[in-house]
Amino acid sequence: MIFIRKLKAVTISLFLFFTVMSVSFASQSNYLIKINSQEMNLSKPIVEKESRIYVPIRIVVDEFGATVEWKKDTNEAIIQMNSGDHMTFRLNDVSVLFNGEKYYMDAPTIIENGQVYIPVRHLTELLHANFQYDVETKQMNVSTIPLHTIMPGETVQSISEQYGITVEQLKVRNNLQSDELFINDQLKVVIPSIMQSKLAQNFTEEEIELLAKIISAEAGYEPYEGQIAVGNVILNRVNDSRFPNTIKGVIYANNQFTPVKTGKFETIQPTAQSVKAAQEVLAGKNVVEGALYFFNPAVSKSSFFNNKEVVKEIGGHRFVK
């Protein structure tokens, strides 16, 4: 059902200006940025670090009608949008607090040359814009998306179909408690990838963080596939009746993981790569089907693994079932 209600106008600037710097000091001509099909002239190079492209957080102050506050005591950057969105980024952290909910980026917030930088994809999506990047041409296309103004006859279902998103995503993005809509209200229709990932997985914030932490603790220096595999072992156990049926239960089971037993686990800060691995595992990626254990054959002398079937060896770990 649609009701008529007066709504205070919400505006977002439809123009984005990038001022960027580069870790490697590569030539700015290597990159091309188009905003709403308009090519931007960059006065400085782009920050590219570990295959992630960064822009300084200060670009949002004027160009997106936002305010940015830097809290030196907590190393946090807080952005408040005219649209009502607010987000908190913490230095060297992959997490972002977005409208009170915690989400995880695939790369941390960093400081370069005295400025705070955030991965460009995540920042633009959180600012209600679509982002595309062509790896071969190094061209970035940013399309700012206006809020959707509700028209007579529209429903949550019809609007979600119009933008190719789910009803759940639309409701969560706009904090809708029901399917009731009001004519002339405006809805946010860009669903940031970090939000899509969390909604699709249907896992709690605690579970994602715990899985990322155990991956960091047990395979932080292993190949990425090895990190995926460690996460797979945790989830394989969750799905096996011989083990606890929760991620937390599996990780904290007695005498199962050395970092937990020694207490080191509690101080671990998950890396961006371990968070990404955890998200892939929770989304269904499995490189060691059926594996319930892993060990380092160069270190472990336990006879427990002698009669176990080897599923795969990755890096310094052997995965068995």
Residue 316 sits in a domain of what CATH number? 1.10.10.2520
Reduce the DSSP state of residue 316 to 3 states and report it: coil
Per-residue pLDDT tens for 224-279?
Answer: 999 999 999 998 898 887 898 889 999 999 989 999 999 999 999 898 889 889 98
Higher pLDDT, 100 or 113: 100
Q: Are residues 230 and 174 in the same domain?
A: no
Query: Does residue 14 lie within any of the structural domains?
Result: no
Express each pLDDT in 267-301 by its tens digit.
998 988 898 899 888 877 889 988 999 999 998 88
Question: Does one domain contain both 167 and 251?
Answer: no
Rounded Cα distance between 207 and 200, Å, is 14
In this structure, the answer to whether residues 278 and 186 fall within a common structural domain is no
| Confidence band for 43, pLDDT divided at 50, 70 and 90 | low
**CATH code of 71's domain:** 3.30.457.10
The confidence score (pLDDT) of residue 5 equals 42
Which tokens hold the place of 90? 């913490």
143 three-class SS: strand
Q: Are residues 117 and 178 in the same domain?
A: no
Residue reference for tokens 């913490």: 90
235: alpha, beta or left, given left = phi > 0 and alpha = psi -120 to 50? Answer: alpha
Of the listed ranges 36-40, 146-150, 233-237, the least confidently predicted one is: 36-40
Q: Which residue has the higher pLDDT, 199 or 126?
A: 126
For residue 6, pLDDT over 50 is answered with no
- Quick one: pLDDT at residue 57? 81
295: Cβ contacts below 8 Å, ≥ 6 apart? 302, 305, 317, 318, 320
The answer to whether residue 246 is domain-embedded is: yes
Residues 72 and 174 in one domain: no
Q: How far is CA 311 from CA 265, 289, 316, 318, in A?
A: 26, 8, 14, 8
CA-to-CA distance for 290 and 188, rounded, in angstroms? Answer: 42
pLDDT value at residue 121: 86
**pLDDT at residue 29 is higher than 80:** no
**Of the given ranges (17-26, 167-176, 203-212, 281-290), which has the lowest mean pLDDT?**
17-26
User: What local confidence, expressed as pLDDT, does residue 26 receive?
Assistant: 34
| In contact, 119 and 276? CB cutoff 8 Å | no
The per-residue pLDDT for range 191-219, each reduced to its tens digit, is 988 887 666 666 788 888 999 999 999 99
Look at residue 101 and give its three-state secondary structure: strand
**What DSSP line would sit under 178-234, residue for residue?**
SS-EEET-EE-----HHHHHHHHHT--HHHHHHHHHHHHHHHTTS-HHHHHHHHHHH
In a domain, 20, yes or no: no
Helices (H), the chain: 60-63, 120-126, 156-163, 167-174, 193-201, 205-219, 224-238, 247-251, 258-262, 272-282
pLDDT at 66: 81
Give CA–CA dist 307/5, Å, rounded.
Answer: 70
Lowest mean pLDDT among 111-115, 118-122, 250-254, 278-282: 111-115
- Span 40-65, average pLDDT: 70
Q: Do residues 55 and 125 share a domain?
A: yes
Do both 140 and 176 map to the same domain?
A: no
Question: Are 244 and 222 found together in one domain?
Answer: yes
The verdict on residue 195 lying in a domain is no
| Domain, as residue range, for 49 | 28-144
Are 152 and 138 part of one and the same domain? no
Give 189 or 52, the one with higher predicted confidence.
Answer: 189
Q: Would 17 be classed as within a structural domain?
A: no
**What is the Cα–Cα distance from 122 to 194, expressed in whole angstroms?**
8
The amino acid occupying position 246 is T
Whether residue 4 lies inside any domain: the answer is no
Q: Give the 3-state secondary structure of residue 96.
A: strand
Residues 212 and 300 in one domain: yes
Residues 122, 185, single domain; the answer is no
In the listed set 130, 162, 190, which residue is the last one of a domain according to the structure? 190
Model confidence, pTM: 0.60
- Is 241 among the domain residues? yes
Average pLDDT of every residue of the chain:
82
183 domain residue, yes or no: yes
pLDDT at residue 312 greater than cutoff 80: yes
Instruction: Please tell me whether residue 147 adopts helix, strand or coil conformation.
Output: coil
Taking the C-alpha atoms of residue 215 and residue 209, their distance in angstroms, rounded to an integer, is: 10
Higher per-residue confidence, 74 vs 280: 74
Q: What is the CATH number of the domain that holds 181?
A: 3.10.350.10
Residue 11 has pLDDT above 70, yes or no: no
Task: For residue 315, name the pLDDT band (cuts at 50, 70, 90).
Answer: very high
* Domain count across the chain: 3
Whether residues 210 and 227 fall in one domain = yes
Average pLDDT estimate for 171-194: 92
| Distance separating alpha carbons of residues 83 and 129, to the nearest angstrom | 13
Mean pLDDT score, 64-81: 88
- Percent over 70 (pLDDT), the chain: 85
Q: What is the CA radius of gyration of the chain?
A: 22
Q: Nearest to residue 77, comparing CAs of 64, 62, 95, 65?
A: 95
Give the pLDDT band of residue 41 (cuts 50, 70, 90). Answer: low
Q: Which has more confidence, 105 or 231?
A: 231
- The answer to whether the CB of 229 falls within 8 A of the CB of 319 is yes
